[in-house]
């Protein structure tokens, strides 16, 4: 249709008289993106060749020539002067074809007892495994940055919100430590996924295993896997390890998006809870006063790409019969983009959190607004006057309405006004209406009292040490 067919493919063209249509080549080739797997591909091939030699399937001299030749290919790629070829489809055949040019005939023996199906499954697992490690490291850095913020403001009061309406006072440290819990669960998801994916597909060959006397335990160990995958069909045909990485990434990106949104709200002129450093803000080309939290907004948005990649790969995988299908070549770009996006978002968030200036006075001022200690008043009526909580709730609601009508806060109501609603109220009530008393009283495990927050900070610091 488009091009005069070229000669058939040197890697698999034995039964082909003509080469592919140019558009066939364009839709089929993955080298444009899977070149990113070159280091994993070469590492896997070197382990495979060494194993073949150890098993007497390859001569030592061939295996040595292959091992050395592959290192030459590696340095050529790293130097940036490797001639990647679309006609050679993918990274696996590009590497092997170049190896042939460098070492000649022994290169053709490398693919013994192996297929591109187990090869790509191995390469990709190694790549995703590295990304899990990178995510774990980046998440640890973010946890540490959040803990620094939490420790600085373990007893700074601020409004806690539900429905984004003032609810009860909390401490800044408590709010920061909430994110520590979330981000730490994200980290544990990557740890879990890594442990589960750490089985080696190499040696599953095309789908059925091989008649050669290979040693899959040897290659698995050489590549840092815990064990060889136990079923050759499963080994070449599942991408659940990539889906787990994407799922963990999506949840993490969702958490980052929530924190980013809070930073956007908090840095607004209406809130002024925090000031974002110049390093993480931008100006407006028309409004000279503007300081826009662009990095936070972009992090808030990145979940779209990460979740999009997740949905895309689920959609690719659903309904695929065992074992390998070329559909699965569509796994890589999604995972590459999601991983790059997540790492960038994590680095930016860690920077923003580290460079954040918190306006303690403003937090405290806002903490007292919006009748934030109304629950404390109701609790006092329960504790000191023996009222059922529902009755206390009702009486407090009446007092809030009274204060609202007067245009004042709860502590500004006179004792006489308080007693008009319930005569058992005494002067003592005023002690529970202060925001510092309010947070200090919330000593339940995991509560917002500064002592509790400091205990959680200490626990996390010990865990991270
Ligand atoms: N480029 C392919 C992929 O990414 C490699 C495996 C090709 N296997 C095959 N039997 N055509 O999935």
Q: What is the average per-residue pLDDT within 145-154? A: 98
pLDDT for position 7: 73
pTM tops 0.75: yes
Q: Which residues contact 165 (CB under 8 A, 6 or more apart)?
A: 370
On the CB side of 155, how many CA atoms lie within 13 Å of its CA? Answer: 7
405 pLDDT more than 90: yes
215-236 pLDDT, tens digit each: 999 999 999 999 999 999 999 9
pLDDT of the residue at 289: 81
- Percent of the chain at pLDDT above 90? 89
CB of residue 242 inside a 6 A radius of ligand 1: no
Whether the CB of 120 sits within 6 Å of ligand 1: yes
Query: What's the CA-to-centroid distance between 117 and ligand 1, angstroms?
Result: 6
211 CA → ligand 1 middle, Å? 22
The yes-or-no answer on residue 163 being catalytic is yes
Look at ligand 1, atom 11, and give the residue with the nearest C-alpha.
326
Give every CB contact of residue 161 below 8 A, 6+ residues apart in sequence: 167
Cα dist from 454 to 139, 176, 259, 389, whole Å: 21, 12, 21, 30
Q: With 0-12 CB in 10 A as exposed, 13-18 as middle and 19+ as buried, what is 48?
A: buried
The residue to mutate among 27, 90, 119, having the most atoms of ligand 1 within 8 angstroms of its beta carbon, is 90
Ligand 1 centre distance from Cα of residue 66 (Å): 22
The predicted model gives 363-378 an average pLDDT of 92
Q: Closest ligand 1 atom to the C-alpha of 30?
A: 1
Model pLDDT, residue 306: 98
* pLDDT tens digits, 330-349: 999 999 999 999 999 999 99
Annotated active-site residue in 75, 188, 268, 284: 284
**Cα–Cα dist 399/289, whole Å:** 42
Q: Which of 116, 127, 242, 322, when mutated, tests ligand 1's pocket best, judged by the most ligand atoms within 8 Å of its CB?
A: 116
Going from the Cα of 57 to the center of ligand 1, the distance in angstroms, rounded, reads 25
Catalytic site residue from 163, 237, 354, 394: 163
Atom of ligand 1 nearest to the CA of 326: 12
Averaged pLDDT for residues 191-205: 98
CA dist 145 → 289, 340, 352, 354, 461 (Å): 29, 21, 9, 6, 12
Ligand 1 and 116: CB distance under 6 A: yes
Instruction: Give, in order, the Cα–Cα distances in Å from 234 to each of 117, 241, 310, 326, 366.
Output: 11, 12, 21, 15, 57
- CA proximity to 29, closest of 76, 94, 126, 77: 94
The answer to whether the CB of 48 falls within 8 A of the CB of 57 is no
Distance between CA atoms of 84 and 279, rounded to whole angstroms? 39
| Ligand 1 pocket, residue 91 CB under 6 Å | no
């Amino acid at each position: 249709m488009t091009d005069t067919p070229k000669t058939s493919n040197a890697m698999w063209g034995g039964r082909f008289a003509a080469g592919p249509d140019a558009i066939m080549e364009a839709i089929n080739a993955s080298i444009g993106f899977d070149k990113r797997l070159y280091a994993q591909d070469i590492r896997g091939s070197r382990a495979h060749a060494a194993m073949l030699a150890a098993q007497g399937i390859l001569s030592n001299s061939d295996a040595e020539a292959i091992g050395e030749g592959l290192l030459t290919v590696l340095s050529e790629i790293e130097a940036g002067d490797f001639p990647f070829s679309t006609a050679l489809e993918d990274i696996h055949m590009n590497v092997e074809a170049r190896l042939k040019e460098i070492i000649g005939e022994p290169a053709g023996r490398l693919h013994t007892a192996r297929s591109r199906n187990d090869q790509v499954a191995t390469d990709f697992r190694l790549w995703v495994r590295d990304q899990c490690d990178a995510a774990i490291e980046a998440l640890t850095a973010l946890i540490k940055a959040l803990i620094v913020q939490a420790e600085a403001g373990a007893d700074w009061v601020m409004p806690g919100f539900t429905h984004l309406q003032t609810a009860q006072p909390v401490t800044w440290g408590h709010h920061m430590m909430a994110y520590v819990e979330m981000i730490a669960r994200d980290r544990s998801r990557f740890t879990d996924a890594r442990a589960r994916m750490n089985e080696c597909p190499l040696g599953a060959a095309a789908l059925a295993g091989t008649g050669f006397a290979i040693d899959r335990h040897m290659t698995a160990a050489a590549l840092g896997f815990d064990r060889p995958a136990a079923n050759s069909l499963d080994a070449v045909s599942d991408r659940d390890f990539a889906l787990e990485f994407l799922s963990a990434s999506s949840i993490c990106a969702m958490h980052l998006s929530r924190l980013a949104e809070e930073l956007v709200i908090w840095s607004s002129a209406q809130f002024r809870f925090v000031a974002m450093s110049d390093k993480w803000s931008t100006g407006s080309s028309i409004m000279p006063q503007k300081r826009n939290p662009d990095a936070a907004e972009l992090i808030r948005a990145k979940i779209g790409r990460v979740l999009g990649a997740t949905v895309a790969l689920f959609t690719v995988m659903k309904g695929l019969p065992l074992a390998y299908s070329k559909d699965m070549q569509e796994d890589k770009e999604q995972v590459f983009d999601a991983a790059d996006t997540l790492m960038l978002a994590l680095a930016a968030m860690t920077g923003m959190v580290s460079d954040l200036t918190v306006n303690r006075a403003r937090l405290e001022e806002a903490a007292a607004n919006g009748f934030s200690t109304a629950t404390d008043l109701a609790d006092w009526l329960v504790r000191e006057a023996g009222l059922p909580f529902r009755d206390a709730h009702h009486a407090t609601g009446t007092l809030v309405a009274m204060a609202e009508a007067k245009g004042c806060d709860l502590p500004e109501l006179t004792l006489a006004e308080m007693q008009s609603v319930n005569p058992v109220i005494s002067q003592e009530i005023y002690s529970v209406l202060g925001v510092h008393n309010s947070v200090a009283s919330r000593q339940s495990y995991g509560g917002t009292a500064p002592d509790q927050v400091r205990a959680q900070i200490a626990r996390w610091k010990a865990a991270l040490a």
